[in-house]
Structure formats: structure tokens, C-alpha cells
Amino acid sequence: MNRGNQLNSVITITIILNVCLCFGGQYALAEQFYPFLKVDTSSKELKDSPKKVVRTLKGHKRSVTSIAFSPNGRLLASGSEDETIKLWTVRNGLIFHTLEAHNFWVTSLAFSPNGKKLASGGEDKLIKLWDVKTGYKLKSLRGHDNSITSIAFSPDGLILASASWDKKIHLWDVETGEKLRTLKGHRRNVPFVVFSPDGKTLASASWDKTLRLWNVHTGKTRRILKRGHRGWVNTVAFSPDGTLLASGSLDRTIRLWDAKTGKRKRRLRGHRSAVMSVAFSPDGQRLASGSLDKTIRVWEVRTGKEIFVLKGHWGHIMSVAFSPNGKILASGSEDKTIKLWEQ
């Protein structure tokens, strides 16, 4: 299943829930189809954000699927359904490069730790490495049997992890482009992977409703995190100190986990539709989440309390990212734009 089918499946469930609300019997009918969901009939108002949009970046012709800041915070990369990658200068919002990247949607982006390389994954089953300064393609990596969903560099920049709808995770040697090992275990699609800050562990989120922690050196599963979500797990992030994991799900919730023990610590509720992206602030005190409900929410990690809601996009939020200094939060949306919010 590709990224488009993922979004379509999530939207289909949302439509069914809305029909349930319109025609009565909302709880019984919705839970008959999807028992892990409860229909939110609350009419509570969203808190207006005290933050403002610093800049809106326009240039993509279709939905923005992925965004990433360069390590020095000067550039922002965005991938889109229009098959391109754009590199933006954060200071003035100008386009630095436009890369004709993939034959189908660009689904994932990641800067190398030194900021010299950019990796991209696409629905064409390819992973590509780019020279950030020149915009030239360095190499293409082939090995997955279906669309690429997520890519991540190890903290030392030597390994690239890739996930796919083929349920597999590959680890690659960045220098040679050779496949080091394949991680197998998930029973459904794997939409997201991320390395721990020390590079020893890889976390993966799956539509099998679990998270897995893998030993990067051996490729073996360290731990399986279960019973945290009642729906597909779409995204996962490590806290900067590596002690916490945050996961976002189709069930509209975010879970905080103890990364060492795998125990559930807290559940964050507030979104009215699937959570597609989560990101910790560089100091680890805040967590941002983006959702199909078209909002970005920022939470206090220590208490789990919602600090504020960012509203401004008219399309689904597909990706969120903090700048390295924590002063800007970026959001990429189905509305073809990226917004930079002051923090």
C-alpha cells in the first residue's frame, strides 16, 4: 500500500465517522466498524494560539508530505506529491533548490547530521541521496518492494534506515549504498522509523498497532510496545535525551513511553482526527503534533497538558518539525504550503 492509499484509508474512516454523526446511532455504528475509535461529539472550542505565522512558504503544486530542517537551521527541505523537493532559505523564505526528485510522490526526507546530504524516499520504491549545496543526485538505493514511507540517518551519519509498505526496514551504508541488514517483524505497513540519539536503537511505528525497538548492530528486536493504541500507529519520535518515545495514531491520541522499559507513561488527547506527525522540541520540554483535523497542537511533555493549538492550514497536517534552536515550528500540509510558526 502506498502513501496515497494510507491517506485515503484514513480519510475513508473519517468520512464513515462523520456519516455516523449525521444520521444518529453514532457510537454503536462507528464502533461496529472500528471498535478502537470513539466518536468525538464534544463541541468544546479550540484554544486560540498565542503564536503567529512568521512565514508561509508557497511553491509546491500538490500536497506537502514531509519537511525537515537542516542541522544548522538555515534550510528547510520539503517533499511533495508534485514529485519535487524544495530547499528553502528559512531566513527569507526563498527557494534555494528545486529537485525533480522522484517519478511519484516524495514521501520522506532527512538531512545527514553534517547537513551536506539530503535523503529522500518516494512512491517509486527508491531512496535517493542528494548533495545539498549543488542539488546533484549522488546515488539511488534500491531494495524495497513497495513505496518508501520513511527514512532516517543515524546520529553519526554512517547508516540510513528506510521503511516501506512492504513491511520491511532496511539499513544502508551511506558511503557505499550497500544494504547492511533487513529488519523484519511487523505484520503491517511501517510508516515511520527514527534512530535514538545514541544511534544504538531504531524505533518503528506500524499499522499493526505496535511500536518496535530494534538493536541497530544486530538487527534484532529489543522490545515490542503493545496495547498503547487502538488504531494504526502513524509516527514515532525520540525525545532529545533518548528517555522518551512519542507515538501518534489513527485513534487520535499520542502516547508517551519510557524508551528503556517500554512502559506507557501518558496519553495525550485533543486531536479530532488521526495524528500523522509528532516532534519534540530541542530542549525536550514540548511536543508538537500534526493531524488530519488540520491543526497542530503543542503539549507540555512533563504534564501532558495541551499548551496551545495552531490553526491556519485549510488542509490536513502531514508533517511537523522544530528548528534546531527551537524558535520555529514548521508544518507541512495538504494545502500545498509550509507554515513557519514562532515559538
Whether the CB-CB separation of 78 and 64 falls below 8 Å is answered with yes
Which structural domain range is residue 338 located in?
A: 50-342
Residue 44 included in any domain: no
Higher-pLDDT residue of 19, 330: 330
Is residue 28 predicted with pLDDT exceeding 70?
Answer: no
What is the C-alpha to C-alpha distance for residues 296 and 275, in angstroms, rounded to an integer?
10
Distance of CA 144 to the CA centre of its chain: 19
Residue 272 included in any domain: yes
Residue 159 included in any domain: yes
Residue 211 included in any domain: yes
Whether the CB-CB separation of 77 and 87 falls below 8 Å is answered with yes
Q: Would you call 320 exposed, middle or buried from its count of C-beta atoms within 10 A (0-12, 13-18, 19+)?
A: buried
Residue 1 included in any domain: no
What pTM does this model have? 0.86
pLDDT in tens, 128-151: 999 999 999 999 999 999 999 999
Residue 250 included in any domain: yes
Domain count along the chain:
1
What is the C-alpha to C-alpha distance for residues 148 and 222, in angstroms, rounded to an integer?
24
Is residue 233 predicted with pLDDT exceeding 80?
Answer: yes
Give percent of the chain with pLDDT exceeding 90.
83
Whether the CB-CB separation of 52 and 341 falls below 8 Å is answered with yes
Q: Which three cell numbers stand for residue 65?
A: 508530505
pLDDT in tens, 237-265: 999 999 999 999 999 999 999 999 999 99
> The domain spanning residue 159 has which CATH number?
2.130.10.10
pLDDT at 277: 98
Residue 16 included in any domain: no
Whether the CB-CB separation of 57 and 337 falls below 8 Å is answered with yes
Three-class secondary structure of residue 176 per DSSP: coil
Among candidates 108, 117, 134, 115, which has minimal Cα distance to 71? 115
- 46, amino acid identity: L
How much is the average pLDDT of 261-288? 97
Residue 99 included in any domain: yes
> Helices (DSSP H) in the chain: which residue ranges?
3-22, 26-33
Mean pLDDT (the chain) is 89
